[in-house]
Amino acid sequence: MAEITAQLVKQLRERTGAGMMECKSALVEAKGDLAEAEVVLRKRGITSAVKKASRTTKQGLIGSYIHHGGQLGVLVEVNCESDFVARTSDFQELVHDLAMHIAAADPQFVRKEDVTAEALEKERDIERARALAEKKPEKILDKIIEGRLAKFYEAVCLYEQPFVKDNTLTIDQLIKTKIAKLGENIVVSRFARFKVGDAPASTGSAGEAAVHEPVQA
């Protein structure tokens, strides 16, 4: 088995447009064989999903999930390209699964790009202080902090989180499998999570929920 180097991951990413984690996973499965890793990505539908990522999504559904006892609920808007796909059982199942996942995992942002500068800076400060307390060498502090931020993103960003029904898939990978199957671009537009007795800091008033939306370019 060939060593899975950062350069090899970069090569596969440049050839396919797939994400870094998808490329690394495919290379591990392909035992370091670049050509075979491309086949793995194609089988997973990831390369076709990347090609569809720029397509406009103006249709879709607003899904909901209410946890047993009615103490926790979620609304999520998931968009696709056509009303036809929005009416399919596969798309509806995805929307329901995403709402259920949000209820269980409590993400704060849709994607990594949506994390506010304030939240990111705060996390960087925490990790820097932690690394210094652990007596890590000053020259590698930035590298350590960036590595630890990956865990932060996994905790707070919907697309980075392991899917609660199958933790071998991230939400991003789950959506890409549906894109490959249904043949249309699919995106999570926004979501709101409501918990009885929880007034979110971002609204400052009881009975409301923060709506998490992607940042506008």
| pLDDT tens figures, 27-69 | 888 888 888 888 888 777 776 566 666 677 789 999 999 988 8
Mean pLDDT for the stretch of residues 121-140? 86
Domains 6-44 and 59-111+158-212 alike in fold: no
Please report the pLDDT score of residue 122 as a whole number: 92
Per-range mean pLDDT, top range of 18-22, 104-108, 127-131, 197-201: 104-108
Pick the CATH number of 59-111+158-212 from 2.30.29.30, 3.30.479.20, 3.30.70.2740, 3.40.50.10860: 3.30.479.20
**Local confidence band at 203 (pLDDT 50, 70, 90 cut-offs):** very low
Question: Which among 43, 46, 44, 35 has a CA at the least distance from the CA of 12?
Answer: 35
If you count DSSP H runs as helices and E runs as strands, how many of each does the chain have, helices first? 9, 6
**Local confidence band at 140 (pLDDT 50, 70, 90 cut-offs):** confident
Please report the pLDDT score of residue 217 as a whole number: 42
- CB atoms under 10 Å from CB of 97, counted, come to 19
DSSP-H helix ranges across 1-70: 6-16, 20-29, 34-44, 46-52
- Topology of 6-44 in CATH? Helicase, Ruva Protein; domain 3 (1.10.8)
**pTM passes above 0.75:** no
Q: What is 116-154's CATH number?
A: 1.10.286
Where do the structural domains in the chain lie, given as residue ranges?
6-44, 59-111+158-212, 116-154
